[in-house]
Each structure stands twice: as C-alpha cells, then as structure tokens.
Amino acid sequence: MASSYFGVLVSDPWLQNQFTQVELRSLKSHFLTMRRESGSLTLGDLPSKMSKLKNVGENLTEEERTAFLHDSYQNLGDEVDFELFLRVYLNLQAHATSRMGKGAKNSSAFLKSPTSTLLHTISESEKASYVGHINNYLGEDNFLKKFLPIDPSTNDLFEVAKDGVLICKLINVAVPGTIDERAINTKTVLNPWERNENHTLCLNSAKAIGCTVVNIGTQDFIEGRRHLVLGVISQIIKIQLLADLDLKKTPQLVELVGDNQDVEELMSLPPEKILLRWMNFHLKKTEYKKTVTNFSSDVKDGEAYSYLLNVLAPEHSNPSTLVVKDPLKRANLVLEHADRMGCKRYLTAKDIVEGSPNLNLAFVAHIFQHRNGLSTPEKPVSFLEISPDEAQITREESAFRFWINSLGVASYINNVFEDVRNGWVLLEALDKVSPGIVNWKIANKPPIKMPFRKVENCNQVVKIGKQLKFSLVNVAGNDIVQGNKKLILAYLWQLMRFNILQLLKYLRSYSLGKEFTDADILDWANTKVRSTGSQSCMKSFKDKSLSDGIFFLELLSAVQPRVVNWRLVTKGQTEEEKQMNATYIISIARKIGCSIFLLPEDIMEVNQKMILTLTASIMYWFFKQPMDEQRPCGSSDSENGNQLETSSNSTTYDTESESSTD
C-alpha cells in the first residue's frame, strides 16, 4: 500500500522520490536478508554483500565498491540502517554509471549538468578555478569576508560550504534575487537545525535556477561530500557565466544569424551552443579552417584560441602564438594574450592542452562577457519585443523546464517548446510521475530521423494524458510535434497538477478514502490560517487580495511557527512592499523544504496556476512531517534532520483550477 511506501519503509521524503514502490520493497527485502545473515550490518560489510544488486553488482567489482566506500565515508564500521543503505546504493549506482559507456560522454559536470553528481573524484584544477571565482565575487560579502579568500590548495572550500551560507550567496550572484537573504541563517555558530535549513534553501533554490540536484541531500553538504558540493557549485557558476548568452540580454547576438527564422532557431539553442556559434562566427573571419564543435579536443592545440583572440583584441596579439609548434607553449602565449585583455581566468595552459571541457567553457564564456566583438543593432529587433501574454508564456516555460529537470529525467531540457517535440522527454516525465504508465516497447528513442516516429511518441503522450483524465479535447500528438506552445504548456500544467495531487493522496487520503481536489487544498490552507486566530481568507487561487503576501506568510507560520520573522514583513501596500513580501515567501517556503518554481511576480500578480502550486507544496510539506510535529504551536529542534530534505517532485500546476475553486 502507498501508506507503507511513504510512511513506514522510508521516512525521508527525499529518498522516497528516488525509487518506485516496487524498487523500494525489493531493496528492503535485500537489506533485511543481508542483516539477517550477519546479525548486524556495517558500511564495511556492504561491498561483498551488494554483489547481487542490479547495476551495482553487475558493473562494479567488489574491490571497486570497497574503494568507493573508503573514499566516500570516514568510518566503515558505522552500522547501516535502511535509509543509509539506500543512500549508499544510489551513490554506487551513480558511480557504476560513470564507469560505463556513459562515463566518457558525460564526464563534464559543467557542460552536462544532469550528470554533474555522477563523479566521486574531483578535479583539483576545477576546484582551484571555482575557488578563484568565489573569492572574486564574494570576497567583499559582509558575512563571508571573514572566511575569504579561500586557499585553493586546501579543502577549506568544503568546510566553509558546510553551513550553507556560501552556496546561497553564490546562487544570488548567478541569478540575483533568487534567495531573499533575510531568510538565510547567518549566525557565527549555527545549530544543526539552522544549518539544515540553509542547505534545504540552497538545494531548492538551485533547482529553481536550473541546476540538477537529483541524488543530493542536505546531509551531503553537512558531511562535506566533495564531489557533490563541487558538482552543485560548478552548475551555479556555469549558469552565471552563460547568463549573457541570451538574445534578450545581448541583442548583439542577432549578428550571428540572418532572418527571423534563424533568430528563432538561435533563441531555442542552449547557451553552450550559442557560445560555440559565436566562436565560429569570429573564426570565419580568419585563416582558421576548422569548425569548433566542443570545448575539449577541438581547442587542445590552442590554435582556435590564437585566432579568436587576434580578432577580438588585435592590439595585444603576439605573432609567435601561431608560429610556435609546442601546444603547451602556444597555450601559455594564449593566456598571456588573454591576460593583456583582462580575461585570464578559470584555466591554466595545462588545462587547455588536456582539453578540460568545464574550464575551457568557463574561459570562453568569460571572454564573451568581457569582449564579444559584436555590433549593436542599429534598430530594435522586432522579434525580441514581446507582449505581456508572451512574457507570461516565457515565465511558465521556465517553471516547467526546471520542474522536468528536477525530476531526474535522463534528457536535460534547455527549451521546453523545442525539446519536447519528439515526445521522448514527455514520456520520461510521465514515467517519473506515474511509474509503469509508459509502454516503452512502442516508444522511439532519440535521435529520431523519421517525423512519423515523433508523432508515435506524442500520440502515446496524449493517450496517457487522457488515461490520467487530462483535459485534451481536440489535441493530437502532431500538435506537440509542431510545437504548439499553448497546448504544450496546458499539458505540462496538468501533468504537474496530477503529480502533486497524487503525492498528497499517498501521504494522507489513503485513510480518508478519497482523492484530493483543488478545493481540498483551498480548504486546508484556510483552515490552517484560521487555526492561528487570523481572519485572513483565500477565496480562490485567483483572489487578488493575495497580492500583498500576508496570507501565505500566515500559512507558513501556521505550519512552522518559527520560520517567519514578522519583523521583516511589510504591510504589502505598495508594489515595493509586495515585492519584498513575495521574495520572502518564496525563500521561506524553500527553506522549510518546498520545491517550488514560481517568481515573486507570480504572487504579486496572483497567477492562479502558481498560487495553487505554492499552496499545494506547503500542504505537501506539512503532511510529510511526523504526526506529532503537525501541531499549531512550537516545533521540534534539530533532531528532525533529514525530514527537511529537498524533494524533487513537490510542485504542480493546473488548467482546471479556475472552475473548481471559483
């Protein structure tokens, strides 16, 4: 039963989201068998006893499993409970994946963020580069400056990161305003509860800006798991460095293309691809005959860099750079050129020669930020002028994109409208939300050359949607293949709504014998707020009185009394006050463990879909807590530990909410 799955087998909600019910029961059986055989079970026993487990036993030798555990855990004599067993299994499974064929292809955490947590070893060059970035951007922060600069030759980075403040601040550097810093616990000495809150806030906020943090929990930061901490940091820095590779922020990029159709294609590309196109655009002006297709093997000899920098900064060029034969010497000359431009950052000559994809990407992105060599358009680009409706579509696309990536699907989404058109990603998302519902035997895996194969995938997507009672009148698979934006958004909205309602059902309604509805969520929120003595009321999910944010602050205070500092709350009368309350609400919700993807504007404008998302996520978090903690006053101390672990699947949207809650 679902109750045993969510309530008995595993109490940690983060772990619940990593397995299907069948997988969890099977692993529980294996665990009990192992423990019966030896009376007790320690970390040191696991390498020999996990030989029969899928992936881990098949793809790693006992010696490899032993070496991995020795590198990952300090005391192999620690006794293993079921939840620790699951964590070890997930880490070994990821390690096995990195050792197989996928390992070489996905070795770049920086370039392919979904796989950034697979490697358990770390690159000292990358660590030193990221430390330099942190020292540069956070060195003057009032709280952190007592810990900075960090020495890159030590492991101080992971010690400083243990209280969660550093990564929260780094997220705000990458995407300003993501975290309301009033929500960060910044005392000199944090207790375990406060530290856990910071890590929960950081992980949920990282997901909200596009990082993939599947298989990472707050405990990994507290224990200083170096490969996982560095994986998150690398993704955050990547997002910051590539932020300007967007036509809205850098309209000069229009010079890379011709007509509007090409502009639309450029806008759909991931930032890394745009950066490569920019690089090749300048290289075509030179005698360089090759096309750079990656940030590794294609730039190892340093020639492409030599020509690129000569175009961007000819005043600093050195003729010897193109004459010298030794790649290492050329790489040093390239960096001297970059230094004269003010761009010697992120990598060494050795990193160029070795083809480090992460650091080469960072180097080129930094050059682009500093000097892109493009001309400013003489007149505004009409294609970039969007209406309020289009702006809303853009916001929703971002929310859906980050939500899908947070599910841990194998395919990473850069642009929803382009990446779902072959149907495969939607099938992956459906399988995550409702395991076993997809018929993979008739699904077509990318790359898909024949258009009718894409239609077959999308037809199955629509068929499953109807099976789940989505509203899909006159919708066909070809509508998705053609990239119909409104239909794609409507489908994803209903999928997210279905996800949260199912999770709520599993957590509570098995004892009530009924499905959850939007009206139930509305009633629950009003009841919780009234229980505190407040007279506030939410009439519907589009109630304009919600724009001041007070109701949601009272709701958060009702479910976790200690989390809202009312001295920081405004009256919400002006737009500025509403903005302050909205940013505080989002950060506080993420801090307690809600995985949400809305923006302050969604609260201020009372976006019906996002308001439902927020309310349902708070409700879901509340129901996940042990029954003795679901009380109107007080809260337990730090022994809650992993109860606040971030959840991948705690967000939803809804096309039907208007009719059901008006």
Phi-psi region of 647 (alpha: psi -120 to 50; beta: other; left: phi over 0): beta
Query: Which tens digits make up the pLDDT trace of 481-516?
Result: 998 999 999 999 999 999 988 888 776 654 465 678
Q: Three-state secondary structure along 238-290?
A: HHHHCCCCCCCCCHHHHHHCCCHHHHHHHHHCCHHHHHHHHHHHHHCCCCCCC
pLDDT band, very low/low/confident/very high, at 319 (cuts 50, 70, 90): confident
On whether the CB atoms of residues 90 and 215 are closer than 8 A, the answer is yes
pLDDT for 612: 94
User: What does the angle CA 486 – CA 492 – CA 493 come to, to the nearest 5 degrees?
Assistant: 85
d(CA 283, CA 276): 10
pLDDT for 222: 81
Q: Is 42 helix (H, G, I), strand (E, B) or coil?
A: strand
pLDDT band, very low/low/confident/very high, at 421 (cuts 50, 70, 90): very high
Residue 1 has pLDDT above 90, yes or no: no
Q: Three-state secondary structure along 377-437?
A: CCCCCHHHCCCHHHHHHHHHHHHHHHHHHHCCCCCCCCCHHHHCCCCHHHHHHHHHHCCCC
Residue 147 has pLDDT above 70, yes or no: yes
Query: Which tens digits make up the pLDDT trace of 368-403?
Result: 999 998 887 665 655 556 666 677 788 888 889 989
Query: Which tens digits make up the pLDDT trace of 269-316?
Result: 889 999 999 999 999 999 998 999 999 999 999 999 999 999 999 999
pLDDT for 345: 83
Between residues 41 and 94, the one the model is more confident about: 41
- The candidate with the shortest Cα–Cα distance to 596, out of 406, 417, 433, 436, is 406
d(CA 433, CA 287): 52
On whether the CB atoms of residues 299 and 352 are closer than 8 A, the answer is yes
On whether the CB atoms of residues 602 and 541 are closer than 8 A, the answer is no
pLDDT band, very low/low/confident/very high, at 9 (cuts 50, 70, 90): low
Residue 440 has pLDDT above 60, yes or no: yes
- The candidate with the shortest Cα–Cα distance to 175, out of 116, 249, 113, 273, is 249
d(CA 133, CA 126): 11
d(CA 442, CA 220): 39
Between residues 60 and 462, the one the model is more confident about: 462
pLDDT for 662: 37
pLDDT above 90 covers what percent of the chain?
46
pLDDT for 21: 62
d(CA 253, CA 264): 12
Residue 193 has pLDDT above 70, yes or no: yes
Residue 550 has pLDDT above 80, yes or no: yes
- Mean pLDDT for 463-480 is 92
- Mean pLDDT for 1-10 is 42
When mean pLDDT is compared over 505-514, 565-574, 632-641, the highest value belongs to: 565-574
Residue 639 has pLDDT above 80, yes or no: no
pLDDT for 109: 41
d(CA 257, CA 594): 41
Residue 122 has pLDDT above 90, yes or no: no
pLDDT above 70 covers what percent of the chain?
82
pLDDT for 383: 55
Tokens of 462: 């629509």
Residue 593 has pLDDT above 70, yes or no: yes
Tokens of 125: 């060059």
* Residue 532 buriedness (CB in 10 A; 0-12 / 13-18 / 19+): middle
* Whole-angstrom Cα Rg for the chain: 25
Mean residue pLDDT of the chain comes to 82
Residue 111 has pLDDT above 70, yes or no: no
Between residues 48 and 590, the one the model is more confident about: 590
d(CA 554, CA 560): 10
d(CA 88, CA 70): 12
pLDDT band, very low/low/confident/very high, at 57 (cuts 50, 70, 90): low
pLDDT band, very low/low/confident/very high, at 17 (cuts 50, 70, 90): low
- Mean pLDDT for 610-626 is 89
pLDDT band, very low/low/confident/very high, at 643 (cuts 50, 70, 90): very low
660 DSSP assignment: H
pLDDT band, very low/low/confident/very high, at 236 (cuts 50, 70, 90): very high
Residue 178 has pLDDT above 80, yes or no: yes
Residue 599 has pLDDT above 80, yes or no: yes
Query: DSSP letters of 594-650?
Result: ------HHHHHTT-HHHHHHHHHHHHHHHHHS-GGG-SSS----GGGGGGG---TT-
Residue 13 has pLDDT above 80, yes or no: no
